[in-house]
Amino acid sequence: MKRRRMEIIFLFIIIAAVYVILFTQVSIDMKLFFMGLYIFVMFVTMFSLMLENRFAHETLLWMYVLLFFPVFGYVFYLFSGQLYLKGYLYQTKRKRDRAEWKSLVKQVSAPDLSFLNNHQQSFAAFAKNASETTISTSSKTEVLKNGNETFTEIIKQLKKAEKFIHIEYYIFRSDRLGTEIIDILIEKAQAGVEVLFIFDAAGSLKLSNNEIKRMKNAGIKAFPFSPLKNGFFNQKFNFRNHRKIIIIDGEIGFVGGLNVGEEYLGRNKEIGFWRDTHMVLKGEAVYMLHTVFLLDWEYVSGEDVLQERPELKSEGGKGDGAVQVVASGPDTQQGIMSDFYYALINNATESVWIASPYFVPNQAIKAAIKHAAVKGIQVRLMVPAVNDGFLTQYGSRSYFGELLQYGVEVYSYKKGFLHQKLIIVDGDIASIGTANMDMRSFHLNFEVNVFLMGSRSIGDLISHYKEDMLDSEKLDPIEYNNRSMLERSKESFARLFSNVL
C-alpha cells in the first residue's frame, strides 16, 4: 500500500511538472526545479523497473514508454505494466490460504498412484509438488457438454439439496436462467438449507440489486468479490474472480467454463451457439473444490468457517483414475496455472490437443508448443472463428503464423462461440476448468481447474473434441501467410496489449 501511495504521488508530480514546464510563464528557475523533479521521478521509476528483473526487451519497452509518453506513459505503466506484480494486494489472503491448505491436506492420506502409467506418473509427480492440493484416487467425474446438459443437471441437483448450497460465479445474470436458479436458491433457503453466494463485482454487473436484495431477504448470504468502488487506485478492479463453483451438501461439485446467463444456453441471437464444457465432481475432489470456495468465502465475508465444518472430511471410496483440483490467482503461487499447462505440454509424447477461446500464450507456453511440434508430436489448437472482442480476436491470431510454421494444426471453430478451456495430452491426461491460455488467467484472475489422469472422462473429452473438429476449419499455412497487410496490422496492434488480454 505504501508503494501504491508513492506511485500516485509520483503521478501527480509528473502531471504538475509537465503542466508547469509547458503551459505556464513561471521563471526559468521554477521550470528547472520541476524538470529536476520530473527527472528524479523517472529515474526512481526506471530504476525500480530494472530491479524487477523482467525480460530485457520488456524492461526496455516500458522504459521507452515512460520516456516518450510523459504522462500517458506513466499512467499506462501503472495500470498495465505492473499488473502481474500486484500480488501484494492479496498477501494476507495468500498467506492465510496456504496455511489452511497445509492444515487440510494433512487430513488426506497420500494416494497410491502405482496404477498410473509412467507417462501419467511423471506429470503426477510434478502436480503433487507444484500445488498445495492433493491428488485424489477416490473421486469420480462426469463431463457435461454445453449449456443444456450443464444447467439441466445443476438445477436437478440444486432441487435435491438438503444441507447447503455454496455457489460462486464470475458472471451471474438476472435473466430467465439466472432468475430460475435464484428462485430455487430462495426456496431452499426458506426451507432451512444454508445458501452462500459469491459473485464477481465486475463480471456480474447485470445481476440486479433487486435480485440480490430478494436473496438476502430470504436468508441467503451473498457477497460481491472485489467491489469496484474499492479497487480503482489499488488496481483491485483488474483482479477478477473467474471461478465457477457449485457445491451441494459436500457430496457433489460443479466446475467448468459456463457462467449463468441465457447466452450460455445459446439463446443470444448476436452470439449464437455457445460451445462449452462443464464437469461434475463426486468424492474426495469435492472436498478440495469446496475448500477453494470456503477460502474465498472467508475473504469476502470475514467469517472463519473452514475448520469448523465436519462435512469437509473425506469419506474415501473407489474412484475413477486420479483427479486434482488446482486453484490459481493472486492468492496462490505466482503463475501456477501457467506452470501446470507448461508441464502438461512438455510431458507429451504423442499428442497435445488444446481448445481455448482466448489464446495469448506466454513465452514458456509458446516455446513448449513449438518444441512439442518440432519433436513430431501432434499439436492441435482450436479457437473460435469469431471472438467477442477486437483485441482478443486479433491478439490470438497474431500467434498463428509462427505456430503453423512449426507444424501446429490450427482449427477455427465455425459453429458458434467456442468457450471451453481444455487440454488433452496423449489421450490419457487432461485439464478442464476456468483458466484460459492467456496472460489474464495466468497472472490476474482467480481460477480453478481439474486435472485428470487415467480417468474415463478423458474419453468423453476426446470424443467431443473430434466432434468439434467437424465444425471447424483447419487453417492452411500458405493461405494464412498470404493474408492482407490490413489483417497483419490488426494482429500486430492487438498483440501490443497481450499482457492484459
* Stronger pLDDT, 495 or 401, i.e. the higher one: 401
Closest CA to 440 of 170, 55, 182, 95: 170
CA distance 226 to 202: 8
Average pLDDT over residues 230-245: 73
Q: What is the pLDDT of residue 5?
A: 76
Cell triple for 462: 476426446
Q: What domains does the chain contain, in order, with CATH numbers?
A: 2-81 (no CATH), 89-108+140-319 (3.30.870.10), 336-500 (3.30.870.10)
Q: What is the 8-class DSSP label of residue 385?
A: S
Closest CA to 416 of 245, 209, 271, 267: 271
Q: Which of 93, 140, 145, 242 is catalytic?
A: 242
CA distance 263 to 484: 33
- The helix-helix angle for 118-130 and 336-346 (nearest 10°) equals 170
- Contact residues for 489 (Cβ-Cβ < 8 A; gap 6+): none
Residue 493 burial by CB count (10 A; 0-12/13-18/19+): exposed, middle or buried?
Answer: middle
> Within the chain, how many helices (H) and strands (E) appear?
18, 18
Q: What is the pLDDT of residues 260-306, one digit of tens each?
A: 999 999 998 888 999 999 999 999 899 899 999 999 999 999 888 77
Active site residue 278: no
Contacts 24+ apart (CB under 8 A), 21-28: none
| pTM of the predicted model as reported, rounded to 2 decimal places | 0.86
Q: Is the dihedral of CA 289, 292, 296, 298 positive or negative?
A: positive
SS3 category, 250: coil
Q: What is the pLDDT of residue 311?
A: 47
Contacts 24+ apart (CB under 8 A), 34-39: 37/13, 38/13, 38/14, 38/70
* Stronger pLDDT, 83 or 119, i.e. the higher one: 119
Cell 526512481 identifies what position?
44
The one-letter amino acid at 127: A
Q: Which of 119, 140, 244, 370 is catalytic?
A: 244
The answer on pLDDT for 501 being more than 70 is no
Task: For the sheet with 422-425, list strands across it.
Answer: 135-136, 322-328, 447-453, 429-433, 422-425, 351-355, 378-384, 409-413, 472-474
Cell 440480490 identifies what position?
212
Q: Which of 221, 249, 414, 471 is catalytic?
A: 249
CA distance 323 to 137: 6
- Contact residues for 348 (Cβ-Cβ < 8 A; gap 6+): 372, 377, 425, 426
- Contact residues for 442 (Cβ-Cβ < 8 A; gap 6+): 328, 335, 337, 338, 362, 435
Q: Which of 276, 426, 460, 468 is catalytic?
A: 426
Rounded to a whole number of angstroms, the CA Rg of the chain reads 24
User: Do the Cβ atoms of 447 and 327 come closer than 8 Å?
Assistant: yes
Percent over 90 (pLDDT), the chain: 60
The β-bridge partners of 172 are 260
The answer on pLDDT for 314 being more than 60 is no
Average pLDDT, the chain: 88
The answer on pLDDT for 132 being more than 90 is no
Q: Which of 421, 443, 464, 490 is catalytic?
A: 421
∠ CA(42), CA(45), CA(48), 5° rounding? 145
Active site residue 249: yes
Active site residue 57: no
User: Do the Cβ atoms of 305 and 164 come closer than 8 Å?
Assistant: no
Active site residue 464: no
Cell 474499492 identifies what position?
230
Closest CA to 289 of 134, 184, 171: 134
Q: What is the pLDDT of residues 438-466, one digit of tens each?
A: 988 988 899 999 999 999 999 999 999 99
